[in-house]
Amino acid sequence: MRLKHTTVISWSSLYFEIMLLDQSIHQISTLLRQKNLSSVELVTEAYQTIKEINPQINAFITLVEQNLALKQARNVDQNRVKFTSPLAGIPYLLKDSYVTQSLRTTAASAVLQNFIPPYSATVYHRLEDSGAILIGKMNMDAWGHGGSTENTDFKPTKNPYELSRVAGGSSGGPAAALACRLAAFAIGEDTGGSIRNPAAWTNTTGLKVTYGRVSRYGCIAYASSFDTVGPMAKTAADCALVLKAIAGQDPYDATSAVQPVPDYYQKLTQSLKGKTIGIPTDLYGDGLDEPIKTAILKQKKVFQALGLKLVELKMPLLRYGLAVYYLIGLSETSSNLARYDGLRFGQDRHFFTTETMRRIMIGTYALSAGYYDAYYRQAQKGRTLLIREYDQAFTHCDVLLMPVNPISPPKFGELIADPLTNIMADIYTVTQNPVGLPSLAVPCGFTPNQLPIGLQLVGQLFAEDLLLAIGHQYQQVTTWHLQKPQLL
């Protein structure tokens, strides 16, 4: 089988070269097991595409040595019967916030630019056991502090749909790479939208899981009570296969959930009849760009055709989500980052970026004597109100339909030049993390100048199976997720 073959396919007047990694994980896995494709071919294609594309988008911080990845690929090819996971032999990417033994881990900060961890994250071990092949550690906003991957010490990642614009963040590196088919899937990390934000801006799919659904052990913490480990891929079906492999209780993480892990892939075709989607009308007013609003609300007919009911509702307390998120999140990050001194990691705290120092100072101020009750304690009370607001909403519906981003991908400098605008870019994604709810971001259109638009489906605790089923069935009747950037 050739690594690439040229076939002309038109999606909205765009033309593409078909690649092995255009296919779904299920399709690739089937070809591998039938021996109509080898893992060596997959990995070789990935590295060839990386060589061509990555210099343009700067998605990688550390690229695994190709010979090492090919060695692992040959091992899977030669011992296929030993690997039962559909991820076996498939190349993937890891956001550089997860420690990997003997492989540099930086969190995109110069503080850790030469850090080689002595152990690996649980999510890495589970994927290693499945036979998946890591090919790179990906760019991000340093420590997860940002929504554009501009706050990195390894140069910003560029949006492959327009190189003058950001790819989103903080998981911008993995998202941009997946959009360019540099791997089959990636593991991101979502504290306040860091999976969903870049997924929406790069026309990919990303799942923020229920807090505790996937072990955080080995994840470099931003805000410990918000952080979640989740899959990023081309489709909801791919995310389902990845989530099955990485989810479940972990003895190394006391916050990991004891709930059984369902077969998410098998549940993708479950009936949606009788299920209701709630539309919080508060979120579709001022501040949301008109092309984004129009694209999302157009999808109501698609969801109705799938058998879903729609109901409008009010969620006025969500307006306080930004304040709750930033007070608690920055308080936690000020505590978490206190450990990064030269004695342990080789570089002192002078290497923190301006954005990181800003967040540390705000968090320290909120926790300081005389201000704790006025700010941090009040934010925790606000968190309780957000929980109640979502609980009330879910008495009327099963899933909520929300925007992901209020704006299209901005040009470089537009967000980091204005800290308030930078914060406001998270307005639709920060309320789920304090509550612990899962949320799936899927592509739903393009702006008039061909920039991607995403929507998010928010579910109740541990309702990932329903979110993935809706996302999958939606993607069976739409083609937005099939479009690729013109770089390819």
Which pLDDT tens digit goes with each residue over 213-257? 999 999 999 999 999 999 999 999 999 999 999 999 999 999 999
**CA-to-CA distance for 146 and 188, rounded, in angstroms?**
14
Strand (E) or helix (H) holding 128:
helix 122-130
**Of residues 184, 233, 182, 234, the one with CA closest to residue 49:** 182
Read off the pTM: 0.95
Query: What would the two tokens of residue 122 be?
Result: 């649980």
Domains of the chain, CATH where assigned = 4-482 (3.90.1300.10)
Residue 16: predicted pLDDT: 45
Neighbours of 311 (CB within 10 A): 11
Q: What sign does the CA torsion over 475, 477, 482, 486 have?
A: negative
Mean pLDDT in runs of 10 for the chain (488 residues)? 37 54 97 97 98 98 98 97 96 98 97 96 98 98 97 98 98 98 98 98 98 98 98 98 98 98 98 97 96 98 98 97 97 94 83 93 93 94 98 98 97 89 92 98 98 98 98 98 93
Residue 17: predicted pLDDT: 61
Q: Are 446 and 407 in contact (CB under 8 A)?
A: no
Which pLDDT tens digit goes with each residue over 32-71? 999 999 999 999 999 999 999 999 999 999 999 999 999 9
| Full 3-state SS string of 274-329 | CCEEEEEHHHHCCCCCHHHHHHHHHCHHHHHHCCCEEEEECCHHHHHHHHHHHHHH
**Of residues 466, 468, 458, the one with CA closest to residue 436:** 458
Beta bridge partners of 278: 311, 400
Neighbours of 7 (CB within 10 A): 9
Q: Are 218 and 121 in contact (CB under 8 A)?
A: yes
The set of residues, in sequence order, having a beta carbon less than 8 Å from that of 69 and lying 6+ positions away, is 43, 47, 91, 133, 134, 135
Say how far residue 400 (Cα) sits from the centre of its chain.
19
Determine the 3-state secondary structure of 442 from DSSP: strand
The set of residues, in sequence order, having a beta carbon less than 8 Å from that of 6 and lying 6+ positions away, is 17, 18
Q: Cite the active site residues.
A: 95, 170, 194
What are the strands, taking DSSP E only, across 325-459?
Answer: 399-403, 439-446, 452-459
Residue 106: predicted pLDDT: 97
Dmax over CA atoms of the chain, in Å, equals 68
Q: Token pair 């991000």 is at which residue? A: 140
Q: What sign does the CA torsion over 170, 176, 182, 185 have?
A: positive
Query: What would the two tokens of residue 473 be?
Result: 């069935």
Query: What would the two tokens of residue 427 be?
Result: 């307005």
Burial class from Cβ neighbours inside 10 Å (0-12, 13-18, 19+) for residue 312 reads: exposed
**Of residues 80, 2, 78, the one with CA closest to residue 41:** 2
Query: What would the two tokens of residue 12 be?
Result: 């909205």
